[in-house]
Structure 1
């Protein structure tokens, strides 16, 4: 009953508004008030309201349910959407600016890393060259002929055993320079003697102490050629592996260590411990 009354009231209001709209649309004399345009706009709004009311009435009549009228906020919604779009555009602009800054920083970091890498390579090359010069300067006096200007004395004993013991005593006395020269002379003159391999081993020891790893590795290889069954041979294998690892030849060092248990299964616990440490340092599998 209330719905019918409301519908009837809406129809009356619609009729009244329609009549007012018809009257407002009736042509007026040319002398009409200047506010006619505004009145016309008001009539248009009234007509829009009438159409909405009619729609509401018909909806209520057809469904028999209360009609909830939602206020028209189209313009406000459009304005809100426009504001959000503007905010998103500003955010996107800021993000683009930040991305450009990050890209520049990344490029700069890559360039600096490349420069640093080049500097490290150059320094490494210079260091290798200096090491080679130092090794040459160290070996040259030892290999000079006795009596030559600047030449250092070498073991010249005709008796290989005496020459070996003389060089060994220098080593025991801590005279590594003298021991190196003496053992180099011994290997030069008596390398084929029964003490030749051991002489190479002790020469390698003096070179290893002086961190001349390349020369030491060559001497160790000469010492263990043929895998001699001597007390010092297992230690020579480990020292060879250490020299190779110090020369950044980890793969060769690991292969050398792999031969230790095969060639010298009865090596001492100390030698095995040093071998295990060397395997760790060389990152052997």
Structure 2
């Protein structure tokens, strides 16, 4: 019996030994797979961390780009606002220039209507004098009024450069003509129209000195002030306008002078 039990124990030990060997090998094989799985997991984790870091960097770069874009947009808005302000100022300047041009044209038309009538009367008087005077076959035909009227026709046609030449020729040819102050006056107007303001002032003043209280005196003073305004000499322009209002308070030129003073002050 003991022999039989020993035999059974031996067989059991051998079976256990036989079973133990593959179990140990299986355990060793399982550890290798676990290590490989852990290493793979670490690689994936590191890759995920790297991707996350890159994503964070890309996100930060995108935010900086957005901020830069917003700054550029604000800069453009400021520039557009400035351009809009400049455009509005230019529009106002153009409107003011157009208004001044209309005023100048209207004043010129008014002066032409008011001042050419006396010249027509002078023409008739000169014609009567010429008809009553004895003719002289030896003397050449000199007609200052005809030359003056021809120069006025050039002026009315809007040929201001030609009008300057015509009036200058008249002044040279007829220095003692009754139309001499008027020729100075209209020469000044032609020079004003071509922006030759300094020469225009000289001729307006010469006309005014020859006829201090003549039919064109108030208009000459107003024209001088207009030239001074164009020359940016506001102080002189205000003085001229004040003098005009004092000397010719009831004239149309005085009313225009008051309007110009209101804009200058």
Question: Could you say whether these structures have the same fold, taking a TM-score greater than 0.5 normalized by the shorter chain as the test?
Answer: no
Please state which structure has a larger fraction of its residues in helix. 2
TM-score (norm 2): 0.43
TM-score (norm 1): 0.40
